[in-house]
Amino acid sequence: MTDVTLVLNAGSSSIKFALFPAVEGVQEPVLRGKLSGIGSHPRFTAQTRDGTTPNWDAQLPLHPRASHEDLIPALFDWLERHDDGLTITAAGHRVVHGGREHHGPARVCPTLLDDLAELIPLAPNHQPHSLVAIQCLVDAVPRLPQVVCFDTSFHRTQDSMAQTFALPRALSESGIVRYGFHGLSYQYIADRLPETPLGTRSEGRVIVAHLGNGASLCAMRQRRSVATSMGFTALEGLMMGQRCGSLDPGVLLHLLDGKGMSTTELRHLLYEESGLLGVSGISNDMAELEAHPAPEAREAIEMFCYRAACEMTSLATALGGLDSIVFTAGIGENSALVRHLIIQRLAWLGATLDTDANQRNATSITGKDSALEILVIPTDEEGIIASETRRLLSVQPTSSHRTIQQSRP
């Protein structure tokens, strides 16, 4: 039997999962997969370490109305029936918001779950789904140790200037501060940087661009967070797939008072109808927009890149200069056009791309005469979660751990 750590990363429209050997230092999963398109057209993909592609054949069909509550138990059942020879000894979860009280990985207990449920209004597209995933495993395998890893933890190294809003001090002291998100992705990149062409220069002034359906930037010095584009919620900062990013607060007051919108309608507008989707009127998918001939599609792409470049210069000020830029996540890793348009707007900083390397999504896409190092590094949030889960629990094979088959009621 092989002991493994199950990692679940439940997002707004997807569930990423992986099984990692429960051995410290091992980063390659024995199985990795994803349920995507939840809420519209759910799709299942998975691949084992040897390249085998297993099929989804759970009893639950991937119908358009299938929810996280439907799919997570079905996924767990699929793992139970397909992973012969594997013993899951622990589970790790990505949780977007840890609030002020939780700064590192934490073991699941009822008190913790109550704390995290109170933070649902600050991350309504993510926090509920993470809690569903945790509860599904609590119900199925009550004795299985579970650990949560927070996207907010990485940014707790920032000083008060970077975290505090210009609001009355009593509000800041009550917890209305800038938390920052995508921390697990940034932690993975920070850990990887010394292995890249940057080498020892990775301790310098680096901006990491996590560009996906959710998008943010992180300014790092000595591979620690100095500032980030997201704040109290995952709405602030960059234009995203369906989120507007930073917005004049007066617009919100106008929509509430002048247009008579309810808070529910406003929340839906900001989280679901804005960003690339809202500007283009076509899609929130960058690849689809790049292939679309409509001028609105191109305008949405240009705006996305304009906002990213502007925010990068702001973070460069927080760093006192800039040495390197790293692109990661779905868009950052795969869109040569987006990287080109962003770096083109930073030419005044001396940034240039190697066009051929950029088209190939190479690790180093730095132009010959560029004043900045420019890299593309695929992120691995699941790998970080597995590592942090093993570290916290010091998981070792013991008689108290059971296979999924033995543990189910």
Q: Could you report the per-residue pLDDT of 345-370, keeping only the tens digit for each?
A: 999 999 999 999 999 999 999 999 99
214 is in an annotated binding site: yes
Residue-number span of the structural domain to which 370 is assigned: 197-376
Q: Could you tell me if 78 and 44 lie in one domain? A: yes
Three-state secondary-structure class, residue 308: helix
183 is in an annotated binding site: no
Residue 100 lies in a domain: yes
What is the rounded distance in angstroms from the CA atom of residue 338 to the CA atom of residue 300? 11
Residue 88 lies in a domain: yes
What is the rounded distance in angstroms from the CA atom of residue 282 to the CA atom of residue 322? 35
Q: Could you tell me if 15 and 137 lie in one domain? A: yes
Residue 399 lies in a domain: yes
Amino acid at 8: L
282 is in an annotated binding site: no
The total domain count for the chain is 2
| Residue 83, pLDDT score | 63
Q: Could you tell me if 339 and 286 lie in one domain? A: yes
Tell whether the torsion through CA atoms of 286, 290, 293 and 299 is positive or negative: positive
Q: Could you tell me if 227 and 259 lie in one domain? A: yes
250 is in an annotated binding site: no
125 is in an annotated binding site: no
Residue 82 lies in a domain: yes
What is the rounded distance in angstroms from the CA atom of residue 398 to the CA atom of residue 22? 12
The sheet with strand 224-228 has its strands ordered as: 224-228, 215-221, 205-211, 324-328, 373-376
| Residue 39, pLDDT score | 74
Q: Could you report the per-residue pLDDT of 282-336, keeping only the tens digit for each?
A: 999 999 999 999 999 999 999 999 999 999 999 999 999 999 999 999 999 999 9
Q: Could you tell me if 294 and 146 lie in one domain? A: no
Residues forming the active site: 151
Q: Could you tell me if 280 and 363 lie in one domain? A: yes
Neighbours of 400 (CB within 10 A): 8
Q: Could you tell me if 285 and 352 lie in one domain? A: yes
| Residue 397, pLDDT score | 41
Q: Which residues in the chain come in under a pLDDT of 70?
A: 1, 25-26, 58-61, 83-84, 395-409
- Per DSSP, 152 falls in state T
Residue 161 lies in a domain: no
Q: Could you tell me if 329 and 398 lie in one domain? A: no
Residue 98 lies in a domain: yes
Q: What angle, 0 to 180 degrees and rounded to 10, lies between the N-to-C axes of helices 183-192 and 381-393?
A: 90
16 is in an annotated binding site: yes
Residue 176 lies in a domain: no
| Residue 1, pLDDT score | 64
Residue 347 lies in a domain: yes
Q: Could you tell me if 357 and 403 lie in one domain? A: no
Q: Could you tell me if 223 and 325 lie in one domain? A: yes
Q: Tokens standing for 118?
A: 């109170």
Q: In this structure, what CATH number is given to the domain that contains residue 221?
A: 3.30.420.40
Q: Could you tell me if 307 and 399 lie in one domain? A: no
Identify the CA nearest to 373 among candidates 208, 149, 161: 208
| Residue 139, pLDDT score | 87
259 is in an annotated binding site: no
Identify the CA nearest to 182 among candidates 212, 140, 210: 210
Q: Could you tell me if 22 and 152 lie in one domain? A: yes
What is the rounded distance in angstroms from the CA atom of residue 20 to the CA atom of residue 384? 11
